[in-house]
Chain A
Amino acid sequence: MASSSSSSLSRVVVKSSDNNLFVVNKKVASQSQLLKQCIDNMEEKGTNDVILIPLSNVTSNILTLVLEYCEKHADFADDDNNNQELKQWDHEFLKKFDYATLNSLTMAADYMVTKSLLNLCCQFIADSIKDLTVQQIRQIFDIKNDFTPQEEADIKNENAWAFR
């Protein structure tokens, strides 16, 4: 049966890939669909023990950041993503990271299924690459040009007529 009050968990323990343990409030953990799924599964089984969730892909410094984000967002309702204070906080939150951190954070958000954080990271990265040239994009993301020079020129021209 579904959870009764006696088997409801209030906290979980999350383990990072470098074996550090984080005690996380259930409401905060639920910001991640991956953690929420684990909690729901355990509650269905009626476990009273504090459960341990190992995250083999996330290092402790990145996990700290994800949890900081989840903690902030747990204070707001699900449909409160347009809250100005929260938006401002999100912006300040991402601004302080270098690209290596941002990269790891994006992958962690994807792995932990924290959709709002993932979208936030993607938007932030998109904003910083939007004015780059084709050549720069290929270089940064290590993309092989699979067009012939003629094909490449054709694509550049093919929709030119339609724009303002």
Chain B
Amino acid sequence: MDSDIWSNLPEELLDRILCFLPFKSIVHLRPTCKRFKSLLFTPFFLSKFHHSPSSSSPFSSFLLLSHPHFNRHFPLYNSVSGIWRESSVSRSLLNPCTSSSSLLSSSNGLLCFHHPSSSSFLVSNLLSRSSTLVKFPKLPFTFEFVNLVSYPSGFRIFVFSSKSVFLYNSKVRSWRTFDGFEPILNDNIHQEGVYRDGHLYFTTSHPFSIISFDLEKGVWGIFLDGTPMNELAFARLVMAEEGGDENKVYVIGGVGRNGISRSLKLWELHDNSNSQYSWVEIESLPELMYKKLVSVCYHNYEHIYCFWHNGLICICCYNWPEVLYYRVSRKTWHWLPKCPSLPEKWSCGFRWFSFVPKLYASF
């Protein structure tokens, strides 16, 4: 190609041409000039890329570890290739102000940090290196539980604080307050709510139920009440998010009398059309793996939390560096190896997050 021909092309036509490039080429050409670099995040490009049917994400998906030992960065486990990334995400590189803040929640490519020095939550897209500060709804503000929910058009922050729910909506940039619902905090402080169709779902125990919070109306409701058995020592809820399984609802539960779990089972809740759910047991954790799980959490089930990640049901323990996961497609259980850069002696505080980078996860 000859520069005599192309140098006269108007800028907006050149931009249009670049938008037709495959995503990898666009990223590769970002160092060309400042305009090219910013092009990647223009609405025209994002809308085209997002809607293009052939756009299977060029990004990998990760389990991201937040642990006190790594106060400068987050180790990343690449769940597509099954290896720990050597280059982890450095906090200071991303945004200078995240270095003093703790990670609270992750959703659809966005991360939510606690940023005490500005009395704010910091919501950040690591890929586009953009972030926004959300001021606390009141001062002083203490909270027990934070859940970020993000979708292509924006995000919400669900905060549980002194028996009330504070809900931030990025569309109207404001907080609303609702009456709380105490039972959800009883025994699963590390367990995030599960988002689906405008609702956040939580489990309660003793008695077991699944409750939902309508993010639009701010109303609590009961999704499922009671279990077919009386001996659930603890239960966690996971919903499939992609693939052909996206409507599936799973419960992971420790089964045993008097609050002592003797085995771990996985159920799928089948919707029998009129909101009557039947529990279908699909797996029982092999005994040796189960023994390891309860020995690392010393039967403190409140340390156990679960989430869905790319076809995996992840079962994490706040005080143990390995993650137990169930690969749904192959019906197999595995332990995810501990991060190689973790020292021999570690403290507790393992917070794991499903992290799938997305360009369009924006504010």
Contact = CB atoms under 8 A, between A and B. Distances in A.
A95 interface: no
Interface in A127-148: 127-131, 134, 137-147
A161 B76 contact: yes
B31 A107 contact: no
Contacts of A131: 25
Size bracket, chain A contacts: 35 or more
Nearest to A131: B25
Interface string B106-129: 000000000000000000001101
Contacts of A122: 13, 16-17, 19-20
A162 B59 contact: yes
Given A118-B16, A137-B32, A163-B59, A107 B1 contact: no
A126 B7 CA distance: 15
Contacts of A143: 32-33, 36
B22 interface: yes
A23 interface: no
B356 to A, nearest CB: 10
Contacts of B177: none
Contact of A130 (B2, B9, B21, B129): B21
Contacts, number: 104
Interface stretch (A36-44, A48-56, A84-92, A98-106): A98-106
B130 interface: no
Interface in B1-41: 1-3, 5-10, 13-14, 16-22, 25, 27-34, 36-37
Contact of A134 (B18, B20, B29, B87): B29
A110 interface: yes
B72 interface: no
B135 interface: no
A119 B32 CA distance: 23
B341 to A, nearest CB: 15
A103 B9 contact: yes
B25 A130 contact: yes
A126 B25 CA distance: 10
B296 interface: no
A159 interface: yes
Given A126-B17, A162-B357, A141 B85 contact: no
Contacts of B126: 162
Contacts of A163: 27, 58-60
A138 B32 contact: yes
A164 B59 contact: yes
A126 B6 CA distance: 13
Contacts of B3: 139-142
B80 interface: yes
Contacts of B127: 159, 162
A100 B33 contact: no
Contacts of A141: 3, 6-7, 9, 14
A17 to B, nearest CB: 16
A99 B6 contact: yes
A156 B29 CA distance: 9
Contact of A123 (B5, B9, B20, B89): B20
Contacts of A155: 30-31, 37
Contacts of A18: none
A129 B7 contact: no
B87 A161 contact: yes
Contacts of B13: 106-107, 110, 122
A126 B18 contact: yes
A79 interface: no
Contacts of A140: 1-3, 6-7
A140 B28 CA distance: 16
A135 B319 CA distance: 51
Nearest to A100: B5
A99 B33 contact: no
Given A142-B3, A160-B87, A134 B16 contact: no
Contact of A158 (B10, B18, B88, B129): B129
B96 to A, nearest CB: 15
Contacts of A129: 1, 17, 21
A110 B9 CA distance: 11
A126 B37 contact: no
What are the 6 tightest A-B residue pairs by CB atom distance, in nearest-first order?
A: A142-B7, A126-B20, A130-B25, A162-B357, A164-B60, A122-B17
8 contacts: A119-B20, A122-B20, A129-B21, A134-B31, A141-B9, A144-B33, A161-B88, A163-B60
